[in-house]
Structure 1
Amino acid sequence: MSDNKKRSLTSRIAIGMVAGIILGSILRYFFNDVQWVDEYLTNGLFHVVGQIFITSLKMLVVPLVFISLVVGTCSLSDPSKLGRLGGKSVGLYVVTTAIAITLAISAAVLVQPGSGIERAADTNFQPSEAPSLSQVFINMFPDNPINAMAEGNMLQIIVFSLLFGVSMALVGKPGERLRGFFEDINDVIMKLVVILMNLAPYGVFALMAKLFADIGLEMIGSLAKYFVLVLVVLFVHALVVYPILLKFLARLNARQFLRKMRDTQLFAFSTASSNATIPVTLETVTKRLGVNNSIGSFTVPLGATINMDGTAIMQGVATVFIAQVYGLDLTMSSYLMVILTATLASIGTAGVPGVGLIMLAMVLQQVGLPVEGIGLIIGVDRLLDMTRTAVNVTGDAMVSCIVARSENAFDENTFNDPDAGKDLESL
């Protein structure tokens, strides 16, 4: 019974996505000049419903991350365990990002996606200034935690939540009383996540209809080789690299993992935001995959902040693509610099739509390529952004499983049970 419910949710989200794409394409190609369609449907109903859906997800991010991290941290019997968790999590995220960028550059050098492409004279892109690595580390520590929450600064929220949770664990009885209060709030927030999951098909339909009514597929034609190459590398990383790491480092069934991640991947694809998907990712990791909340509440928000494998893949392919279009040869040292810069830049990449282009500007500047070249790919980046976000959240969940397994905080029975966590979907 519950298995049908789960499949029903997955299929309803997929149906909403496909229906939105079809309707949006019909509106673009057959009703593009009809004013009332643009005013009342594309930029009216679809825009409003889609933005309300994304805003509702983002509404839960800050309280969920703060509450779940505090609950998870204060429940640790040994607060010093945080250092070990942090080292494993950051280490795995950096390694997977380095693998992603290396795979992307190798594929781009082999396929040559920029050969034969004529750059347009009016391509232009003005990037925002990317923060330096030292400034990223400084900015991790909030001078005002309330302001950090108001601005949604995830790294600062994580640091404050960890310190608050450790203090609760060390203070004794006052901490025990607060823990029960925070656990109750956490249950309420998770119920809100369940409610939004059931409303997702409508939000996804509106988002896709609006997107494809605005963006035509004809632009992919001139960039077909680049577009397809990025997609292929993204799929290889998600369906080959992640399963291999999961199998050898955690001895877990990759097929079962990917099957349970489908809903989260669809959420991530439709929102194109790792941060907005945090509530759904955390619910899947803890309730469906069997990761203890003390681990998942730390690794998932951290991964949404620093794990940008999909973005790194785009940066690797785009760097080689732009160099080829401009007829510039990159040396081996330049490629190594791209790998290093893109890996480190992922730490400072916020999990919001389109921010990867800002980090790409930083990578291009490091190897002496024209930043204006970003204008060549910006037209198709939105579609790729959606796919790489799905890859990012898959990586977050994969690392969560590996770290939890290594810390004996993993329920393998929950992981292997196809029905685990499905009762959460019923309202």
Structure 2
Amino acid sequence: MPTKKIGLTGRIVIGMFAGILFGILLNQFAVTPDNWVRFVVVDGVLRVVGEFFITSLMMLVVPLVFVSLVVGTCSMSDPSKLGRIGGKALFLYLITTGIAISIALSVASIVKPGSGGSMAAQEVNFEAAPAPSFVDVLINMVPRNPINAMAEGNMLQIIVFALLFGLAMALVGKPGERLKGFFEDVNEVIMKLVMILMHVAPYGVFALLARTFADLGFGDLLGDLAVYFVTVLVILLVHGFIVYPTILTLLTRLNPMIFVRKMFSNQIFAFSISSSNATIPVTMRTTTKRLGVDNKISSFTVPLGATINMDGTAIMQGVATVFIAQLYGIDLTMNQYLMVILTATLASIGTAGVPGVGLIMLAMVLQQVGLPVEAIGLIIGVDRLLDMTRTAVNITGDAMVTTVIGKSEQQLDEDVYNDPDAGAKVEKIDS
């Protein structure tokens, strides 16, 4: 009897658990700051393989977003359709962010992760990076130099330029039609590159997680921080595996379990890479090939979501705000809770594309309710694993919103969505 080969998702899952186990073993028995295991294995082989994988994905982000967005935009004969899709996407992203932080504040108020107050007197040092104003973000959305925006990976500017370029192609007539064929060919080539990278994905996931867990000590996850850590983690899992599927079911009547199952390998990618932008190529492949959303939709909503959808970060902000307030013995009023919800929701757009976005957004929220910003230093030590989980939650939200909009615009192939094997197999490199 011929043996059934393990699929891509199975190999990625094996790589994830093997990497975590190997990293924990290194952390417990082999790694010290100056020994040869760290030099050769952790900072040598694992770093090279992991960084190569991330860099390869990042290499594809800008060309994939630009080309696919141009193709999707110029394919829309009605420019008003683009505005309708953009309006739906923005509305859904803001709604899910508001839901996320509301749940976080409610649960944290009940659990009281910082009620012990034992850390209030600790010396902490954290200097928050300045956050740009919302007006500055709006002004800076339009690139002065599109080539420079692409070189710097400024996603909002790339999205705006690609939309304008694609719209001009749709309006110019025959020259636009000739260019459309060229961009469609380039888009196919880039997607082929994504599929080639899928062959090395299990090894990249293994290396990234092994190195992370080799460096990760668990000594800090004690006392008050343990309660904070578990509270954030549980809310993230609830939002990713209960709230999103529920919204999907209510708005589309699609089977949510199919969505969850097909997103699993994508979530592992996001967890290991800890970057929504680096996951864009894989998320776009999942939404188009596995969930059946037309590229005209996913090419717009996925990059936009990776830029402005911060549900995971909003959850961290809500719990962290309550946690810090309780540590310092400060009671938050209902008006302050509402201010946290409003600030965090709007900040998900206002700080888009800024490095260290989670801590910048948290600093903005703490300033709005009069809490000490330097207290962020208390939670940095346990934030790495939470950051990885937040990314997995964020890209799940991107895919959910993309699927909802695809369904509402009649741009979703339900046969592909309901087919458990659709897009599961990765094409051979030489095919």
Q: Which TM-score applies when normalising by structure 2? A: 0.95
1:7–1:226: structure 2 CA closer, same or farther, 3 Å change rule? farther
Q: What code does the residue aligned with 2:169 have?
A: M
Q: CA RMSD in A?
A: 1.6
Q: What code does the residue aligned with 1:37 have?
A: V
Match for residue 422 of structure 1?
424
Match for residue 147 of structure 2?
146
Partner Cα distance (1:21, 1:359) in 2: 30
**Structure 1 unmatched ranges of 5 or more:** none
**Equivalent of residue 358 in structure 2, options 350, 356, 360:** 356
Q: Which moved more, 1:20-29 or 1:177-186?
A: 20-29
Match for residue 312 of structure 2?
310
Partner Cα distance (1:125, 1:36) in 2: 33
Is contact 1:304-1:351 (8 Å) kept? no
1:243-254 to structure 2, matched below 5 A, reads: 243-254=245-256
1:412–1:344: structure 2 CA closer, same or farther, 3 Å change rule? same
User: How far apart are 1:210 and its partner, in Å?
Assistant: 1.2
Partner Cα distance (2:355, 2:30) in 1: 28
Is contact 1:305-1:349 (8 Å) kept? no
Q: What code does the residue aligned with 2:332 have?
A: L
Partner Cα distance (1:203, 1:327) in 2: 44
Match for residue 236 of structure 2?
234
Is contact 1:102-1:316 (8 Å) kept? yes
TM-superposition CA deviations, 1:220-264 (whole Å, max 9, x none): 123111111111111111122111111111111100011111111
Match for residue 212 of structure 2?
211
Is contact 2:132-2:351 (8 Å) kept? no
User: How far apart are 1:419 and its partner, in Å?
Assistant: 1.6
User: How far apart are 1:276 and its partner, in Å?
Assistant: 0.3
Is residue 175 from structure 1 mapped to residue 176 from structure 2 by the alignment?
Answer: yes
Q: What code does the residue aligned with 1:105 have?
A: L
Q: What code does the residue aligned with 2:27 have?
A: R
Is contact 2:49-2:204 (8 Å) kept? yes
1:196-345 to structure 2, matched below 5 A, reads: 196-222=197-223, 223-345=225-347
Partner Cα distance (1:143, 1:29) in 2: 51
**Structure 2 unmatched ranges of 5 or more:** none
Q: Which moved more, 1:145-154 or 1:29-38?
A: 29-38
Is contact 2:137-2:351 (8 Å) kept? no
Q: Between the two proteins, what is the percent identity of the paired residues?
A: 69
Is contact 1:6-1:422 (8 Å) kept? no
Match for residue 82 of structure 1?
82
Q: Which moved more, 1:377-386 or 1:196-205?
A: 196-205
Q: Which moved more, 1:269-278 or 1:417-426?
A: 417-426
Partner Cα distance (2:78, 2:169) in 1: 12
Partner Cα distance (2:13, 2:194) in 1: 19
User: How far apart are 1:47 and its partner, in Å?
Assistant: 1.4
Q: SS state of the match for residue 200, structure 2?
A: helix
Partner Cα distance (1:402, 1:226) in 2: 33
TM-superposition CA deviations, 1:329-359 (whole Å, max 9, x none): 1111111010001001111344688531121
Match for residue 73 of structure 2?
73
Q: Which moved more, 1:285-294 or 1:221-230?
A: 221-230
1:5–1:412: structure 2 CA closer, same or farther, 3 Å change rule? farther
Partner Cα distance (2:4, 2:241) in 1: 25
Match for residue 30 of structure 1?
29
Is contact 2:85-2:405 (8 Å) kept? yes
Match for residue 44 of structure 1?
44
1:420–1:66: structure 2 CA closer, same or farther, 3 Å change rule? same
User: How far apart are 1:48 and its partner, in Å?
Assistant: 1.7
Partner Cα distance (1:191, 1:103) in 2: 40
Partner Cα distance (1:131, 1:83) in 2: 26
Partner Cα distance (1:287, 1:78) in 2: 25
Q: Which moved more, 1:206-215 or 1:31-40?
A: 31-40
Match for residue 110 of structure 2?
110
Partner Cα distance (2:416, 2:16) in 1: 29
Match for residue 382 of structure 2?
380
Match for residue 8 of structure 2?
9
1:41–1:424: structure 2 CA closer, same or farther, 3 Å change rule? closer
Q: What code does the residue aligned with 1:304 have?
A: A
Is contact 2:8-2:424 (8 Å) kept? no
User: How far apart are 1:7 and its partner, in Å?
Assistant: 5.8
Match for residue 397 of structure 1?
399
Partner Cα distance (1:235, 1:353) in 2: 25
Q: Which moved more, 1:4-13 or 1:125-134?
A: 4-13
Q: What code does the residue aligned with 1:314 have?
A: M
Partner Cα distance (1:176, 1:145) in 2: 22
Q: What code does the residue aligned with 1:125 have?
A: F
Partner Cα distance (2:4, 2:405) in 1: 30
1:161-172 to structure 2, matched below 5 A, reads: 161-172=162-173
Q: Which moved more, 1:118-127 or 1:56-65?
A: 118-127
Partner Cα distance (2:5, 2:161) in 1: 35
TM-superposition CA deviations, 1:352-382 (whole Å, max 9, x none): 8853112111111111111111111111111
Partner Cα distance (2:6, 2:101) in 1: 34
Partner Cα distance (1:246, 1:345) in 2: 25
Between the two proteins, the alignment pairs up a number of residues equal to 424
Partner Cα distance (1:392, 1:171) in 2: 37
Q: Which moved more, 1:76-85 or 1:157-166?
A: 76-85
1:384–1:370: structure 2 CA closer, same or farther, 3 Å change rule? same
1:269–1:297: structure 2 CA closer, same or farther, 3 Å change rule? same
